[in-house]
Amino acid sequence: MTTIEVKTTTADYAVKVKIGSLMTVAQAIKTVWTPRRIALITDTTVGALYADQVQTQLMAGGFTVTVLTVPSGEASKSWAQTMRLVEALSQAHFTRNDGVVALGGGVVGDLAGFVASIYMRGISLIQLPTSLLAQVDSSVGGKTALDLPTGKNLVGSFYQPDLVLIDPQTLTTLPQRMLVEGYGEVVKCAALVGGDFWKLLQSIQQPDDILLLAPQLIARSVSFKARVVMADEKEGGQRQLLNFGHTIGHAVELLGRGRWMHGEAVAMGLVAVCQVFEAQGLTPVGTAQAVAARLAVVGLPTELPDLALNTVLTAMRHDKKVHGDQLTWVYLAALGQPQLQPVPLTDLATWVAPALTTVA
């Protein structure tokens, strides 16, 4: 078992990574929660695979469990599902002493986390992430979110869980496309960290290698993310670095309307931002190609689709790193040396243009 401690101004919790840990989930939860009622929030796909097993374990451990299921997919990060879930909690008389357990990928984690943060102004939360993306990134750090038609994650809260329990065994049921998209966030972390983490990616030459190295990739990604979150929980400064590749990535994800998964859009965004900053002379020439090589080897997309510049710019203006009349970008001064660069909104078109294949 690898344990990574996260200590922020609002919470102290452990991220535990252990193969098979979902089989002893009640034991782990009892280390942080007394017996209580649990809303086990999951999606249709993950629920069908794991909800019974988790519910049985929790009930044997003395918890009372209500399973609440949302449709799989990004569209569930919505007001409609939020309303359904908080109303279900209320109708079942959940109180402030009860808790929410999120069982699923990043969608379930973001949605259930948001629900836990607003129901009765906040009830306890535990994350049981089951996708690679959720295990390396979204379950840790306390960002919860819903999407709006204008942009990704525009509603949400910072709300830390009491425990994150990661069982890499769940990745064996994850379809290859979802395994690979989660790897997009691993490449992001490795590019930010550089050194041995970046070198480790040389061992990944095909999607199966991701599964083989999953415990290591999870531990390294989470350790890095935990360090950043502990230094800057609410993204006043260096937490913005975790948004590397997301400025263009989120725009592409939104404009694709479900065509690309988050990690795929981030993969395109990582290469694109390196191209943008190579053109500005701030990222060493060849970085975009080096990043693209690590992504392409597992089949992640590395070239932006044809998108009209004005639609990309409109989506980017909803980025939460817009402060006043500037958007802060994350770029690599070198692998392992990320920097923040504010760019006036009026200059965005000139900056972004080199990354787009079609300028309309």
Ligand X SMILES: NC(=O)c1ccc[n+]([C@@H]2O[C@H](COP(=O)([O-])OP(=O)(O)OC[C@H]3O[C@@H](n4cnc5c(N)ncnc54)[C@H](O)[C@@H]3O)[C@@H](O)[C@H]2O)c1
Ligand Y SMILES: O=C(O)C(=O)C[C@@H](O)[C@H](O)[C@H](O)COP(=O)(O)O
Annotated binding site for NAD(+): 72-77, 106-110, 130-131, 143, 152, 170-173
Residue nearest to ligand Y (CB): 153
Take residue 234 and report the two structure tokens written for it.
Answer: 């609410």
Beta bridge partners of 291: none
Q: 């359904």: which residue's tokens?
A: 84
What residue ranges bind ligand X (CB under 6 A)?
A: 43, 45-46, 49, 72-74, 77, 104-108, 110, 130-131, 133-134, 137-138, 141, 143, 152-153, 170, 173-174, 178, 181, 261-263
Binding site partner of 124, from ligand X, ligand Y, none, Cβ cut-off 5-8 A by kind:
none
- Give the relative orientation of helices 262-279 and 176-193 as an angle to the nearest 10 degrees: 30
Residue 1, amino acid: M
The C-alpha atoms of residue 216 and residue 171 are separated, in whole angstroms, by 14
Binding site partner of 246, from ligand Y, ligand X, none, Cβ cut-off 5-8 A by kind:
ligand Y
Residue 239 in the binding site for ligand Y (CB under 6 A): yes
Helix, coil or strand: residue 14 = strand
Catalytic site includes residue 250: yes
Catalytic site includes residue 36: no
Residue 153 in the binding site for ligand Y (CB under 6 A): yes
Take residue 135 and report the two structure tokens written for it.
Answer: 């295990």
The C-alpha atoms of residue 99 and residue 120 are separated, in whole angstroms, by 11
Residue 289, amino acid: Q
Catalytic site includes residue 30: no
Binds ligand Y by CB under 6 A, chosen from 169, 289, 320, 353: 320
Catalytic site includes residue 121: yes
Residue 314 CB contacts under 8 Å (≥ 6 apart), including other chains: none
Instruction: Report 267-296 residues binding ligand Y (CB under 6 A).
Output: none
Beta bridge partners of 102: 41, 127
Binding site partner of 77, from ligand X, ligand Y, none, Cβ cut-off 5-8 A by kind:
ligand X
The C-alpha atoms of residue 105 and residue 114 are separated, in whole angstroms, by 14
Take residue 244 and report the two structure tokens written for it.
Answer: 């590397």
Binding site partner of 264, from ligand X, ligand Y, none, Cβ cut-off 5-8 A by kind:
none
Catalytic site includes residue 294: no
Nearest residue to 296 (alpha-carbon basis) of 219, 165, 204, 228: 204
Binding site partner of 320, from ligand Y, ligand X, none, Cβ cut-off 5-8 A by kind:
ligand Y
Residue 243 in the binding site for ligand Y (CB under 6 A): yes
Q: Do 146 and 155 meet the contact criterion of CB atoms below 8 Å apart?
A: yes
Task: Give the shortest CB-231-to-ligand Y separation in angstroms.
Answer: 12
Residue 143 in the binding site for ligand Y (CB under 6 A): yes
Catalytic site includes residue 243: yes
Q: 């080199």: which residue's tokens?
A: 354
Residues in the chain: 360
Catalytic site includes residue 225: yes
Beta bridge partners of 166: 17
Catalytic site includes residue 37: no
Give the active site residues. Answer: 121, 143, 185, 225, 235, 239, 243, 246, 250, 262
Kindly list the residues in this chain that would bind ligand Y in the complex (CB under 6 A). 137, 141, 143, 145, 152-153, 185, 239, 242-243, 246, 320
